Amino acid sequence: MDTDSLRWFQLVADGMTVTEVAQTYAVSQPGVSRALARLEEQVGTPLLRRSGRLLRLTQAGAAFKRHVDSLVNDLDDGLAAVEQVLDPETGLVSLGFPMSLGTWFVPNVIRDFARVRPRARFALQRTSVGEPGAPSKLLVAGDIDLEITTSRVFHADLEWRRVAIEPLLLCVARDHRLAESTSVDLADVAGEPFIMRRAPSGMRETVLELCAAAGFTPSIAFEVDDLPTVRGFVGAGLGVAVVPALGRRVPTGLGPVRFVPLTDTGAQRDIGLAWLTERRLLPIAEAFRAFILGGGRGSRARSAAH
């Protein structure tokens, strides 16, 4: 079976006339009709029946159509993959990243990459929270090309490189006694309730380590699943929190909360890029990796303390 016959069968089955198919492919109408007739001979049964100007699917045709759709889609994916290999200016980069980087870092670096590779396309995947230091299952399984992480990751089959350092901030309610401070130590809030990310969380582990270095164990009032919820609880006056800067210049406010720089040593987190060492990336994904590792404009985390 030639692929043109299968594509023409798809179009006719989806409601186009033979004349319209012929015009779309710049071939003769009898040529399309003969191709459809040959396809029916190869299958061994009528696939189409005439209904006025249109051809309708027979029962056998409807059963066949589902598999033709799948086959042609797979074929098109294969052709697209070849196109990516042959043309390093285009193609698809599959990229994973955590939610906290989706509001600033990832869109910025993609924007800047698009200035040099405007035809690049991206398939974006949110990576789920796992054990601290562990890469996402998507990357380990090879379902994505590259993963942007918020901490160093370790795995025998992966390589990881730091690409930026993001400051951590103290988040307090706007009426908090430290809300107007230009900087603070964690020891300044040692006796206050903390809003903390639920385990497993690399951010949680970092906060616990920072508190221990400051000489106290935080009193955890609430454990929540994401940063917007952390801010909501802090804004309601239910506690304080340590949060990433997310590209903000501080001190600054956001709704009912205020972000203040921390002076504690280690009050920061790594932003890095990870990939499978044995996986050969297509040229466009390789170009994106080189762009980030080379300090592409959007890949630099802005210091929230300046």
CA 278: distance to chain centroid?
22
Instruction: Tell me, yes or no, whether 47 and 20 share the same domain.
Output: yes
- Residue 303 structure tokens: 């210091």
Helix, strand or coil, per DSSP, at residue 259: strand
pLDDT at res. 306 = 35
Say if 305 falls within a structural domain. no
* Domain housing 10: 3-86
Residues 152 and 186 in one domain: no
pLDDT, position 301: 43
User: 219 and 155: one domain?
Assistant: no
254 neighbors 298 (Cβ within 8 angstroms): no
Residues 96 and 223 in one domain: no
Report the pLDDT value the prediction gives residue 122, as an integer from 0 to 100: 92
Q: Which residues contact 173 (CB under 8 A, 6 or more apart)?
A: 179, 234, 235, 236, 237, 256, 257, 258
Indicate whether 221 and 107 sit together in one domain.
no
**Are 64 and 16 within one domain?**
yes
Is residue 120 domain-shared with residue 148, that is, in the same domain? yes
pLDDT digits (tens, 9 = 90+) for 272-296: 999 999 888 888 899 999 999 997 6
Structure tokens at 148: 């942007």
What is the per-residue pLDDT across 120-159, written as a single tens digit (0 to 9) for each? 889 999 887 666 777 888 888 888 999 999 888 888 889 9
Q: Which helix (H) or strand (E) holds 66?
A: helix 59-86
Q: How far is CA 75 from CA 7, 22, 67, 80, 134, in A?
A: 11, 22, 12, 9, 35
- Give me the residues paired with residue 181 across strands: none
The yes-or-no verdict on residue 85 having pLDDT over 70 is no
Question: Is residue 201 within 8 Å of 133, Cβ to Cβ?
Answer: no
For 6, the 3-state DSSP assignment is: helix
Domain contains 304: no
CATH number at residue 133: 3.40.190.10
Give the CATH number of the domain where residue 42 resides.
1.10.10.10
Q: Which band of pLDDT confidence, cut at 50, 70 and 90, is reported for residue 14?
A: confident
The pLDDT of residue 281: 87
Average of per-residue pLDDT values in the chain: 88
What pLDDT is recorded for position 67? 93
226 with 275, same domain: the answer is no
The answer to whether residue 38 scores a pLDDT higher than 90 is: yes
* Confidence (pLDDT) at 178: 96
Answer with the one of 86, 110, 125 that is the final residue of a domain: 86
pLDDT in tens, 166-210: 999 999 999 999 999 999 999 999 999 999 999 888 889 999 999
25 and 15 part of one domain:
yes
pLDDT tens-digit map of 219-243: 999 999 888 999 999 999 999 999 9
Do 157 and 289 lie in one domain? The reply is yes
Beta strands in the chain (DSSP E): 48-51, 54-57, 91-97, 120-126, 146-149, 158-173, 193-197, 219-224, 241-244, 252-254, 257-261, 268-276
Query: What whole-number distance in Å separates Cα of residue 38 and Cα of residue 46?
Result: 10
How many domains is the chain built from?
Answer: 3
Residue 188 CB neighbours (<10 A): 18
Looking at residue 141, what is its pLDDT? 83
- Which region holds residue 296: left if phi is over 0, alpha if psi is between -120 and 50, else beta? beta
In this predicted structure, the answer to whether residue 112 has a pLDDT above a threshold of 90 is yes
Same domain? For 148 and 277 the reply is yes
Residues 26 and 145 in one domain: no
Is there a domain that residue 273 lies in? yes
Report the candidate in 183, 165, 187 with the shortest Cα–Cα distance to residue 263: 183
Q: Is 1 helix (H, G, I), strand (E, B) or coil?
A: coil
What tokens appear for 7 in the block?
């594509």
Pairwise CA distance, residues 27 & 48, whole Å: 20
* Element (DSSP H or E) covering residue 65: helix 59-86
